[in-house]
Amino acid sequence: MTALSWLDRPGDEGTTWGVPWPRGAVERGTPFALAGADGHEVPVQSWVTATWPDGSVKWSAHAIGARPATGASRTEARGTDGEPAYRIEPGREPARPAVPVTVTRDGGVLRVSTGVVTWTIEESGGTLARSISRGSREIARDVRLVSLRQSEPTPDEGGPVAREQATGQVTGVTVEQDGPVRAVLRLEGRHGDWLPFTVRLYFYAGAENVRIMHTFVWDGDAERDFLAGLGLRADVVMRDEPHDRHVRLAGTDGFLTEAVRGLTGLRRDPGESARRAQVEGRPAGEIDPEVATRLHLIPAWNDYTLDQGSADGYTLRKRTAEGHSWVTIPSGTRSAGYGYVGGVSGGLGFGLRDFWRLHPARLDVRNAATGLATATVWLWSPSAPAMDLRFYHDGMGQDTYAEQLEGLEVTYEDYEPGFGDPHGVARTHELTLRAHDATPSSTALAAHAAAMNAPGLLAVSPRRMREAGVFGVWELPDRSTPAHARIEDRLDFLFDLYVREREQRRWYGFWDYGDVMHTYDGDRHTWRYDVGGYAWDNSELSPDLWLWLQYLRTGRAEVFRFAEAMTRHTGEVDVYHLGRWKGLGSRHNVQHWGCSCKQLRISNAAYRRFYYYLTADERTGDLMDELSTPEETFVVIDPTRKVREDVYTPDPSALSVGLGTDWGSLAAAWLTRWERHGDERARDRLLGTMADIGAMPRRFLTGEGRLDLATGRFDTSGDKISISHLSSLFGLPEMCAELIALGLDVPGFEEAWLEYCRLYLATPEQQEAETGQRLSGISLIQAHSRLTAYAAARTGDAELAAWAWRKFRLGEGDQLNRNPLQHQENWELTVVDGPEVPHPVYEAPFVSTNSAAQYGLAAIHNLALIGRHLAER
């Protein structure tokens, strides 16, 4: 039996989560039962998301429906303070919901019922849902995707630009789950004649809301296509008198509370009960005749708009009808991104998660004074300048590899004409629609907005996670000695720094939210947002891995939410999902897709696995499925084409594959494919290439192998040594440790990895004695100390463990790069204010994302592997 606690807030609207299991503990096909903290049975739906090599369950996923607001649910709501909210037990049959989710299909029409609401969905056409009903009453109809497109950018000084409107067309519907607790429908189509989309609709037993996951892939021409608006729209049936119709739009803390025809503030008093009822969203009831006879003279406010143009401000306005001026409403800073339109007999709640963080976004209500209002959640606000994805400079004459390498030397930008193309990148948004039978209270609306922005998630404790033996090398935080506490404090310092930097540097926006910057500019007291390869990080040196391991070991909700946003961004925006570079990602740049280095190390499945297994998120599963045959990406482009000394063109029978960043990414994709789907092809290629590395004369020291695409095997005849300081910095140590822990019994592989781990930071004399030469290319000493630590732990060598801690602390002998964190004695923030900065900032100029991520990973590994050998200074 495994205890489960809420991550940060209870989830009342249906929740899905993942649970890891030790190898051999749970056989596939085993049922799971769920009980609340007070012991009562809770209906649960379960499925397997990964298996161990022996076929036993490695990860299971589970879903519960909406919780009633009374009785047992209050007991279940415990857990945010560490107390268990539920307990999951394998081997017992689950309770079934009294009213399950049902999915029926009849003549091209699907009807999905949660027991509270019913959605009617057509298998093709211009709607995501034809109708939404609550009981026998239709609440909304024609839920659809809308977009606006321009053929030129918005002029700097304004002026007319023609816009083309389009409605998204659904081309197919797949039922991925059909209850009894959770149903998932996947809809695919295009926004008119471009922008392919995938929409998932999530239904939970007893829920009045439906979660919507919208992903689109950019397939336009950046020089000629400018997206001017992208949104989700629904028509809402309005039955009530205008004074019993209500509009609610979220501000920072509460809601704009309006009636379509207001009864408050009039010269004549309609009566206190009528005024109070209208503000509270109840029927106004009897209205004083002095007002009742003049209702037709009170303006009816037909249209409302909340426009979040930046992370720092939204504007509000309303009007009586098109053709009349807008009236401004007091505005604010950060809207929670949720709204409601309807009346006392029912209406629609609608919203967008991370609304202000993903600006420019907008909420619209139109035609609220008519019989059919329209609510629109704009993912890209039509008020903003059209989306401009053109490359940010003209190339500056860098037409040859030689010129591009010169540019790399000064701005760290790996430019190449035509490669800064966004064609194929994607973005995912989470939305919600909720069918109400009456106007909800402000308190209820605030709860709905909070649930949308921080969906409830159940999680096992870090200790239980560790006992399951998943995700390789890590241990629980250890403050048993001053030396241990110092490292833990620094891990906390680094995470807290990035949370602070995201806020004070405003790392927000439609394409940017979830990423962090690469390198700091101490002279300007800002990050190098405009300097070539020093700007957006794009997973360089694995901050994703650092954050997820830090979450696993601490269980901190704020770490999870930060890592979640990064996974959403880096898996979508930094990676190509169609076109010539499908399956590859882009190296760090001023624009996320700007670098000519397109590699598997950025689309790395190792960065996505955490979120998928912890949440069972289908979209993240899609991203990893895109890498079902990752080796085929090496036919597309040679990642080292600009610096090769030999003549090479990608050859399917002899593909050049680095044994570090490349093979580590391949191994992550193959392992994930095998454990998720039982894919024997992926298994064979993983095990085969592991054996091939072990069989190479120089093993991992070879640096590069020739892969035959047909067989999935390496040529093992190469006898050379080639070391890159980047080989182990994109998940290779984490992946090798996980593979070895699986006990796959691949001849020579563990020995090959231990040899590399021992020799990378060995003395030149030892390197020469064992290999016949001193290794060149040795760099980033602190980062690589975790390799030495791994070898020390596997061999039980205490002297090697001491050597690893020495290298972690001092970074001696770095031939190329020095980690400033090793040479910074006092980790403290500095306050910078005055006229040299736009606003006061707290800075730590000695921190870069490369150093932070690799310090974090080295610290976590070393504490787990050789923590008992850590001595006080």
Q: Write the pLDDT tens digit of every residue in 543-595.
A: 999 999 999 999 999 999 999 999 999 999 999 999 999 999 999 999 999 99
Give the CA distances from residue 470 to residues 20, 182, 643, 676, 739, in Å, rounded to whole numbers and listed in that order.
7, 26, 38, 14, 11
Instruction: Kindly calculate the radius of gyration of the chain based on its CA atoms and give it in whole angstroms.
Output: 29
Grade residue 696 by pLDDT with cuts at 50, 70 and 90.
very high
pLDDT at 397 over 70: yes
In whole angstroms, give the CA distance from residue 348 to residue 129: 14
Who contacts 395 (Cβ-Cβ below 8 Å, separation ≥6)?
Answer: 415, 417
331-352 pLDDT per residue, tens: 999 999 999 999 999 999 999 9
Q: What is the pLDDT of residue 82?
A: 58
% of the chain residues with pLDDT over 90: 93
Q: What is the pLDDT of residue 777?
A: 87
757-782 pLDDT per residue, tens: 999 999 999 999 999 999 998 999 99
pLDDT at 821 over 90: no
Average pLDDT rounded to a whole number, residues 367-395: 98
Cα 780 to chain centroid, rounded? 28
Grade residue 72 by pLDDT with cuts at 50, 70 and 90.
very low
Q: What is the pLDDT of residue 823?
A: 79
pLDDT at 54 over 90: yes
Who contacts 652 (Cβ-Cβ below 8 Å, separation ≥6)?
Answer: 635, 708, 709, 710
pLDDT at 221 over 90: yes
pLDDT at 75 over 70: no
Quickly count: other Cβ atoms within 10 Å of residue 838's Cβ.
8
Q: What is the CATH number of domain 461-869?
A: 1.50.10
Grade residue 840 by pLDDT with cuts at 50, 70 and 90.
very high
The crossing angle, in degrees rounded to 10, of helices 680-695 and 749-760 is: 50
% of the chain residues with pLDDT over 70: 98
Q: What is the pLDDT of residue 815?
A: 61
H or E segment and range at residue 247: strand 245-250
Are 613 and 18 in contact by the 8 Å Cβ rule? The answer is yes
Dihedral (CA of 152, 158, 162, 165) sign: positive
Q: Return the structure tokens found at 448.
A: 């709905």
In whole angstroms, give the CA distance from residue 26 to residue 24: 6
How do the domains of the chain map onto residue ranges? 2-90, 102-235, 241-388+421-453, 461-869
513-554 pLDDT per residue, tens: 999 999 999 999 999 999 999 999 999 999 999 999 999 999
Q: Residue 477, SS3?
A: coil
Average pLDDT rounded to a whole number, residues 720-735: 96
Average pLDDT rounded to a whole number, residues 363-375: 98
DSSP letter string, 4-57: EEESSS---EEEEEEEE--TTSS-TT--EEEEETTS-EE--EEEEEEE-TTS-E
Q: What is the pLDDT of residue 83?
A: 78
**Average model confidence (pLDDT) across the chain:** 95
H or E segment and range at residue 482: helix 482-504
- Dihedral of the CA atoms 545, 547, 548, 550 (nearest 10)? 120
450-503 pLDDT per residue, tens: 999 999 999 999 999 999 999 999 999 999 999 999 999 999 999 999 999 999
The crossing angle, in degrees rounded to 10, of helices 849-866 and 482-504 is: 150
Dihedral (CA of 835, 837, 840, 843) sign: negative
Are 141 and 130 in contact by the 8 Å Cβ rule? The answer is yes
Who contacts 404 (Cβ-Cβ below 8 Å, separation ≥6)?
Answer: 398, 414, 415, 416, 596, 642
Average pLDDT rounded to a whole number, residues 745-751: 96
Q: What is the pLDDT of residue 69?
A: 53
Average pLDDT rounded to a whole number, residues 505-512: 98
Q: What is the pLDDT of residue 816?
A: 64
Q: Return the structure tokens found at 436.
A: 């109400």
pLDDT at 855 over 70: yes
